Amino acid sequence: MIRTVNRGLVFMAGVGVILSSWAMLPSFLDLPLYFLVAGIFTLPGWSLAKWISGNGADRLTQGILALPTGYVASAIACAALRLVGISSPFAVLAASAGLAALLTFAFRRPQSGVIDLVRLDARDRVALTVLWLLALGVVGPVFALVGNTTPLGLAYRAYFNADLFVHMTVVAEFAKGTVPLANPFSPLEALPYYWTYFTLPGVFSQLRPTLPVDPAIMLTDTAMALVFISVGFLAVRNFGASALAGAISWAIILLASSFEGAYFLWDQIATGKPIAEFRTWNIDAVTRWVWNLPGVDGFQRAMWWTPQHLMALTLVFILLLVVARARGANTVAPSILEGLLLGAMLAISSFNGTLLVGSYAVAQVVILAAKRGRGFGTWLASRSIAAILVVLFLSLTLGLGMVQSTPNAFLIGWNRFFLRGPWTFVLLSFGPALFLAPLGVRAAFRASSRLVMTLASILVVITVVFLFVDLRGHENTQVIFRTGHLMYLCLGILLAFAIDSWRAAGGWRSVALSTALLLGAAVALPTVALDWYNARDISNIENSPGNFPWTVHISPDDDAAAQYIHAVLPATATVQTDALPRGRNTWAFVTAFARRRMAVGNGLFTLNPTRYQPAMARVHEAYQSPSAQAAHTAFVDLGVDYFYVGDVERKVNGASVQKFALHPSLFQPVYWRGSVEVFKVVK
């Protein structure tokens, strides 16, 4: 019976993958090509999975481990190729295939496995397939509407487009093949962003340059959501939790992540306001909107728009498996694997990687102290191996400019947002898991004291960072999001143990706690449900309280101009818009859609983004100035090759933009269609 159920669920999941993929990339040529490229890209993972899990592991376990490890291995190999000036997509795919062949040869003999893993059975397959269906339900319908064609143009839902525009910008820059990648908002510097995760969509974009870049990004992100939930389930099963508890725990973490939606509904009803107003709220940030407290994003948003961080968290699960279940702690193989995982986290998500390197260091000291220093020599040798590998990965990111020294980037001091209402934040932000997961600590400690000590170290590190560190220009956002996700990760693991504990206890305790979890999940469910609706709601074209449109549109004229710029203008040319009035709406139009650099733009995703403001102000003055010569001087000084006059520029600057067409000796017209003109700066 259970096999029949599993086959039915697998069939449903397969249909879900096909439908979701087709909605993002409806092409009988390009969709199979993407899957072929992805298959080659992840090839090294199959040998790595064999090394990690051993020949005795079941195929499902090996497949779950193969996809993230293979992806990361190829992404790092690509970064290394870029470091020596090689950017061809065929070279990257050849490197992936070559690395896979090398690893196959290296691990040709039977492998016992670095980690002692359990074999997954039919119940595990059912539980895992249910989680796949939930993840597909969260991600697929949202991505199906991203960039849909409407009468107003291509539609992108606000609050969910900023990260996508960043990723489109990164992939467009990757596809140019320059070394290092240039910052498209300040082209004289390297791109200060952890772009490693976006290697696969970047390679695909190089192979199919006429396609928009966002379909490959969303296809990769969909796979990432499935991989994350799979590795999370595999981890809790191998820590000692049951299949049922693992499935329930991750379903709760994914679908019932906070009580913010419930608070919104209660407040609307209590004050007599229509519930339909949720369409004008950022539901997963109610704590920020109402009280200006920290706002923690649930994993549904990580699946939608921050998959690079989700990949880093996936590697955290594997790291925890090594710490808890390695065959021989403080031996060479586990130490190498730990170092590789930590280094890869740094390369894929630098802030998450930093948090985990710190947490790992604290945990290892605690574990050594718990053993009263016994085996210090082997412990030191093992940690040294891991540290050397981390330094190598860090050197790679520094060499490529992903990590740079940005003056005044960090703010040190008490988290003033948290202090405004600490209890409100705690009560609303983490759903029922926060209150019930601690009941699993004892069972988790019995299963693996090393696991609990590592989780405790993670919680200590993220608490300190949450309370005392912030990023200038990203106050009350990025640090909160990263630490919040690690909090959810720890809660998900402990909640699985808690569920098994009270189920084993039986009687009234089991009934009471199961009921509490069910009721808590029901109360928390509106947050993700309403957030999911809003993420798809491209029919909402009203302005938000923040004075930006809920749905950003790329008009037909702008879309046509972007295609012209991408097809005709030189790949490394700078194309300037009046970035200042475009604000946070179409700030990435040139970099994400036209796929060209700007002489200066609103690089809001980089550290200390306020540093772009002076140059943006000078560009705005050039657009507004009645003097064509003054505008020309400013454009030449700033390094502008071409500039753009669209609806935004006309609305903000009025008749001042007419000077460009009147002085062809300074500004050569190269494109005109509808409301858009593009000029070349004559130098």
* Residue range 468-511, pLDDT digits in tens: 999 988 899 999 999 999 999 999 999 999 999 999 998 999 99
Q: How far apart are CA 597 and CA 595, in angstroms?
A: 7
Band (544; pLDDT cuts 50, 70, 90): confident
Q: How far apart are CA 54 and CA 500, in angstroms?
A: 28
pLDDT of the residue at 548: 80
Is residue 342 a contact partner of residue 360, using CB atoms and an 8 Å limit? Answer: yes
Helices 59-83 and 199-207 cross at an angle (nearest 10°) of 70
Residue 585 has pLDDT above 90, yes or no: no
Helices 122-143 and 507-536 cross at an angle (nearest 10°) of 30
Which amino acid is located at 268 in the chain? Answer: Q
Q: How far apart are CA 44 and CA 648, in angstroms?
A: 48
pLDDT, average across residues 259-284 = 96
H helical segments located in 240-279? 243-255, 260-270
pLDDT of the residue at 328: 86
Is residue 441 a contact partner of residue 449, using CB atoms and an 8 Å limit? Answer: no
Is residue 542 a contact partner of residue 152, using CB atoms and an 8 Å limit? Answer: no
pLDDT, average across residues 428-437 = 98
Helices 350-370 and 449-468 cross at an angle (nearest 10°) of 130
Comparing C-alpha atoms, which of 616, 556, 568, 559 is closest to residue 589?
559
Positive or negative: CA dihedral 206, 207, 210, 211 = negative
Band (357; pLDDT cuts 50, 70, 90): very high
Candidate from 85-94, 454-463, 577-586, 641-650 with smallest mean pLDDT: 577-586
Candidate from 111-125, 152-166, 259-273, 641-655 with smallest mean pLDDT: 152-166
pLDDT of the residue at 242: 97
Quickly name the fold that domain 555-681 has: Rossmann fold (3.40.50)
Matching residue, tokens 């072929």: 36
Band (608; pLDDT cuts 50, 70, 90): confident
pLDDT of the residue at 627: 97
- Tokens for 358, please give them: 């710190």
Residue 207 has pLDDT above 80, yes or no: yes
Q: Write down the mean pLDDT value for the chain.
A: 95
The string of pLDDT tens digits covering residues 159-196 is 778 899 999 999 999 999 999 999 999 999 999 999 99
pLDDT of the residue at 504: 93
Total length of the chain: 683
The string of pLDDT tens digits covering residues 362-372 is 999 999 999 99
Q: How does DSSP assign 570-608, residue by residue?
A: -TT-BEE--HHHHTTTSTTIIIIII--B-SS---TTSSS
For the chain, domain boundaries: 2-157+194-407+414-536, 555-681
Is residue 432 a contact partner of residue 262, using CB atoms and an 8 Å limit? Answer: no
Band (158; pLDDT cuts 50, 70, 90): confident
Q: How far apart are CA 422 and CA 587, in angstroms?
A: 34
Band (407; pLDDT cuts 50, 70, 90): confident
pLDDT of the residue at 660: 98
pLDDT of the residue at 408: 78
pLDDT, average across residues 439-468 = 98
Band (403; pLDDT cuts 50, 70, 90): confident
pLDDT of the residue at 9: 82
Q: How far apart are CA 250 and CA 129, in angstroms?
A: 12
- Tokens for 253, please give them: 């973490």
Name residues whose C-beta falls within 8 Å of residue 583's C-beta, 6 or more positions apart in sequence.
Answer: 548, 602
The number of beta carbons lying within 10 Å of the beta carbon of residue 545 is: 9
| 97-103 LR contacts (CB < 8 Å, sep 24+) | 97/40, 97/43, 99/43, 99/44, 99/73, 99/74, 100/43, 100/44, 100/46, 100/47, 100/70, 103/44, 103/47, 103/48, 103/51
Specify the DSSP element, H or E, that contains 474. Answer: none
- Tokens for 240, please give them: 């000692």
Residue 1 has pLDDT above 80, yes or no: no
Band (456; pLDDT cuts 50, 70, 90): very high
pLDDT of the residue at 263: 98
Q: How does DSSP assign 637-658, residue by residue?
A: HHT-SEEEE-HHHHHHHGGGGH
pLDDT of the residue at 610: 87
pLDDT, average across residues 537-562 = 91
Q: How far apart are CA 480 and CA 351, in angstroms?
A: 11
Positive or negative: CA dihedral 58, 64, 65, 69 = positive
Burial class (CB in 10 A: 0-12, 13-18, 19+), 254: buried
pLDDT of the residue at 10: 84
Note if the bond before 180 is cis, omega within 30 degrees: yes
The string of pLDDT tens digits covering residues 294-323 is 999 999 999 999 999 999 999 999 999 999
Note if the bond before 44 is cis, omega within 30 degrees: no
